[in-house]
């Protein structure tokens, strides 16, 4: 793996660093101290000094799943570890090791250019490779966990590097061991295992519709179709700040689902693998009339009610105030609690 050469053992502290351009919501935020992490070797001494000084700390990747406060105290580790390489290949699968700071979408595109299909349904998800396992990113019927072999991370509790196997990571729907243990691990490398046997995944109606005129779609066709749908449905963070879906799709048990169906026969939902029912949060919010709704500079995206947007000049308080209004209304109307998906720092 090509790691940054001659990187200092301890990176220079950047004091009072503005993060407005480092989070896709475009929220104003000043990091008290920030450190560019370009190689795992920087972490042991840096973390010893951060922990020794009793500072709070967190990792920031592409900033596409966070709500940043006006002032971010303590230390912010800016994840920039580069590199990707094929480390193993046999008749069944190909393994690829990737630095945590690599851009996710560029990595997906690179795998397809190497004729390594599998990740195409996860195209155009913003952010870094290192963040992908944190909430087990998913889209169009695929989840990153299915393709992970091991993860290398620095464990701040043990103050040592650890290697976690896929089965150790407690991956679940938009969840993982890392998410359950915030401010503990710094993911430095993800090793993917991409099966040679490839089966297209077209279970999502919109994706199938997009490819209706393509009888035997290739992974490249699916990649292009996913990109096209996403570009037409989601706001481009460079133009309108957002963090993708702001709420998780709620999972309810069979009895709650049956009761809801009596009152709302048109309810949009899908079976979950663990016997629960997954409700489409966007539908619940839309039914409350929130599409295009605004509270000051914070708003609900007019094409997709699950996405909150920054119309310009919003801060974390504005976004969270709007989120509370939506949560309250959905609770009143459906008796369902909506949980915020992005990480609130």
Q: Closest approach of Cβ 264 to ligand FAD, in Å?
A: 26
| CB 24 to ligand FAD: min, Å | 4
Closest CA to 305 of 320, 321, 323: 323
Binding of ligand NAP at residue 203 (CB under 6 A)? yes
Alpha carbon 219 to its chain's center: 22
Nearer residue to ligand NAP within complex by CB, 18 or 182: 182
d(CA 159, CA 93): 33
Max Cα distance, the chain (Å): 65
Report if residue 339 touches ligand NAP, rule: CB under 6 A.
no
**Looking at beta carbons, which residue is closest to ligand NAP?**
244
- DSSP assignment of 259-304, as one string? HHHHH-TT--EEE-TTS-EEE-HHHHHHHTT-TT-EETTEEE-SS-
Q: Which of 187, 235, 241 is closest to 60 using CA atoms?
A: 187
In degrees to the nearest 10, what's the CA dihedral of 47, 52, 55, 59?
10
What backbone torsions phi and psi does residue 159 show, to the nearest 5 degrees?
50, 50
Catalytically annotated residues: 174, 245, 341
304 binds, among ligand NAP, ligand FAD, none (CB under 5 to 8 A by kind): ligand NAP
Provide the pairing of β-strand 30-37 with 71-79: parallel
Least distance to ligand NAP, CB of residue 255, Å: 21
- Of 154 and 301, CB closest to ligand NAP: 301
CB of 208 to ligand NAP, least distance (A): 9
Tokens standing for 177? 């061991």
Give residues 90-129 in contact with ligand FAD (rule: CB under 6 A).
100, 125-128
As beta bridge partners, residue 251 has 278
Whole-number minimum distance, CB 340 to ligand FAD, in Å?
A: 12
Single residue of 37, 112, 123, 234 touching ligand NAP by CB under 6 A? 234
Residue 60 makes contact with ligand FAD by CB under 6 A: yes
Nearer to ligand NAP, 99 or 235 (CB): 235
Decide: is 249 part of the binding site for ligand FAD (CB under 6 A).
no
Q: How far from 22 is each of 64, 126, 240, 308, CA to CA, in Å?
A: 9, 12, 14, 18
Which parts of this chain interact with ligand NAP (CB under 6 A)? 138-140, 203-204, 206, 233-234, 244-245, 249, 270, 280, 282, 304, 306, 341
Q: Which residues would be at the binding site for ligand FAD (CB under 6 A)?
A: 24, 58-66, 79, 100, 125-128, 130-132, 134-135, 137-139, 178, 185-187, 234, 237, 242-244, 343
């Amino acid at each position: 793996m090509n790691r940054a050469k001659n990187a200092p053992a301890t990176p220079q502290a950047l004091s009072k660093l503005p993060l407005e351009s480092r989070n896709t919501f475009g929220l104003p935020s000043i990091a008290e101290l920030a450190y560019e992490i370009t190689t795992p070797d920087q972490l042991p001494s840096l973390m010893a000094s951060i922990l020794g000084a009793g500072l709070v700390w967190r990792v920031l990747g592409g900033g596409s799943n966070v709500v940043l406060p006006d002032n971010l105290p303590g230390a912010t580790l800016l994840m920039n570890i580069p590199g990707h390489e094929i480390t193993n290949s046999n008749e069944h699968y190909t393994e690829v090791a990737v630095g945590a700071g690599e851009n996710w979408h560029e990595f997906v595109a690179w795998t397809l250019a190497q004729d390594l299909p599998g990740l195409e349904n996860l195209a155009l998800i913003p952010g870094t490779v290192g963040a992908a396992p944190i909430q087990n990113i998913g889209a169009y019927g695929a989840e990153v966990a299915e393709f992970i072999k091991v993860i290398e991370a620095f464990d701040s509790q043990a103050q040592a590097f650890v290697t976690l196997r896929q089965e150790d990571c407690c991956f679940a729907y938009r969840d993982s061991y890392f998410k359950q243990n915030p401010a503990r691990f710094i993911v430095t490398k993800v090793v993917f295992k991409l099966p040679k046997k490839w089966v297209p995944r077209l279970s999502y109606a919109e994706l199938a519709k997009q490819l209706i005129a393509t009888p035997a779609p290739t992974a490249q066709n699916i990649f292009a179709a996913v990109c096209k749908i996403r570009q037409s449905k989601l706001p481009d963070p460079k133009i309108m700040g957002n963090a993708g879906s702001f709420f998780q799709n709620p999972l309810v048990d069979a009895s709650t689902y049956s009761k809801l169906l009596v009152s709302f026969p048109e309810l949009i939902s899908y079976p979950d693998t663990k016997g629960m029912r997954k409700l489409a949060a966007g539908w619940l919010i839309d039914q409350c009339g929130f599409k295009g709704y605004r509270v000051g500079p914070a708003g609900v995206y007019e094409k997709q009610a699950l996405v909150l947007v920054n119309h310009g000049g919003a801060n974390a308080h504005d976004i969270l105030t709007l989120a509370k209004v939506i949560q309250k209304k959905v609770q009143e109307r459906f008796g369902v609690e909506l949980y915020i998906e992005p990480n609130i720092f």
